[in-house]
Chain A
Amino acid sequence: MYRHWEITKDLYKEQLKWSLWLIIGVTIIRYILLGFYHVIGFEPEDLGHLLSMSIEPTKIFMLIIGLLSVYVFLTFFVQTGITRKEYYYGTAYSAIGLAITIPLIFLALFGIEGLFVLATPLELGYSHISFSGLVTELIAYILAILFYFVIGWFITSGFYRYGWLKGLGFIFTSILIVMINGAFWGEDIEIFELSINFGDIPFILSATLTIVLTLILMRVNRILTRDIKIKM
């Protein structure tokens, strides 16, 4: 009798509650910026729409909740008679759920905003947005934030299992992995004076490479936590 769906539900609900602060925060900051764009001195169009504007803060949010996932939840669950395997699947599934839900909420808010913007003279560059572009952006968003969660989970699993010194090794490895993942999406990366640019990679290939990297990290996280000693 495995209870990972129950754990998935509970973790998803708890973390979604945390994410409301992110969603409310990003939305408020957006409208403050839009309200004072002429004072601050930028074009509203440069701010991007809500979906694209929210991706960076959401990446950080997912990294943080990934970092919390072992110290906060693993200890609690094992203390409560839950196995590490149930915890692992609960954490993985809830992260996937969250990585889909958060962008969809931003997308919905973007849609609501769109209705209001039509009634104002504000130019937010909506005319340049295509449906396929939006779908691509949404998929890239989901993959990016899930990847960041898994990175946070990887770092914290390393710290929990091996202590702070070896844990630092997990941070350095993560920085490297984040850079490599960035290169999959066309970013220039420089590692020890070695400059790498994969050039213009098709979206489907970038997405596949990030999925593969995320799956590998998830597998590593399972190996790191499957017999981990619980801190008392």
Chain B
Amino acid sequence: MNSLEIRNVNLKYGDFKALDDISFKLKQGKTYGLLGRNGAGKTSLLSLIAAYQKQSEGSIEVNGQEVFENPEAMQQISFIYDQDYSEETEKVKKMIDAAKKYRPYFDQEYADKLIKKFKLPLNKPIKDLSKGMQSAFNVTIGLSSRSPITIFDESYLGMDVPTREMFYQEILQEQTHHPRIMILSTHLVSEMDHLFDEVIMIHHGSLLIHDNYEDFISKGIHITGNESVVNEFVQGHRVLKEQQLGGTKSSFIYGELTDHEQSLAQKNGLEVSSATLQDLFTQLTKEEDEDV
């Protein structure tokens, strides 16, 4: 059973703290949605996991072994991101052959299937592929390498909707048949949330949330009804957002409702509905001067 454990990780650039005391543990077979606003530190965190740079403090371990400069651990990790291929003259086939050579779990048959599925031209230099095709190429490498820890950081850029859908299908299939630790960093929250088993939310370089997807979204609740009744009901709860139209008010609260509160809401004619991950993400990471 593969595991990835991050303990008290800090990343500093001079006086700036890009990551502040991040800790979490990830387990094989689960797909993790890594969410955060622009500049929150998602890519910094992922680049540490992939040993692209060394953390300033703390430890990052794969199966109990520190990752940085460890050949066994680094082989277990694939980090797929939106690369600049404007000067990459190598052909698709040669790059896939290189992945095959150096990636110990690479599956050529699966790669061939994906090449066909994404209609990748094998003999074309990568720099000449469209943006969407370059993303499909990245995804093909990431999926067929079958690394026990596979990270996709905004890997869908330029892909059209059907291609993105194919990519999501492949992730689901892979997790069923060849389970790995899959980390998906994305801004397309509503489009990809069905893939997540757990949610990791980073805000201003700190870990805001690490929770099971179902448990987490069950904590986001919209309460709608008569203004005074809603006001009374939400007292003691953390209110993320309020909206009002005439005498009707809707409050978006974060937390759990007790059975008593649920029946109270029903008795008072309040409408209780679940929030989406996107709602929660938007409200939990909004800045004070933002009105969303």
Contact = CB atoms under 8 A, between A and B. Distances in A.
Interface of A: 1-3, 10, 76, 78-86, 226-227, 229-230, 232
B71 A1 contact: yes
A16 to B, nearest CB: 17
Interface string B67-91: 0111110111111010100000000
A42 to B, nearest CB: 39
A226 B99 CA distance: 23
B51 interface: yes
A81 B77 contact: yes
A165 to B, nearest CB: 16
Instruction: Summarize B's interface: helix, strand, loop or mixed.
Output: mixed
B71 A79 contact: no
B74 A230 contact: no
Interface residues of B, number: 25
Contacts of B78: 81
A78 B99 contact: no
Contacts of B69: 83-85, 226-227
Contact of B71 (A3, A10, A76, A227): A3
Given A230-B47, A232-B43, 7 more contacts: A3-B102, A10-B101, A80-B99, A81-B74, A83-B74, A85-B69, A232-B52
B161 interface: no
A138 B98 CA distance: 35
Given A80-B98, A83-B70, A85-B69, A227 B54 contact: yes
A82 B102 contact: yes
A229 B71 contact: no
A81 B103 contact: yes
A226 B47 CA distance: 16
Contact of A81 (B53, B54, B102): B102
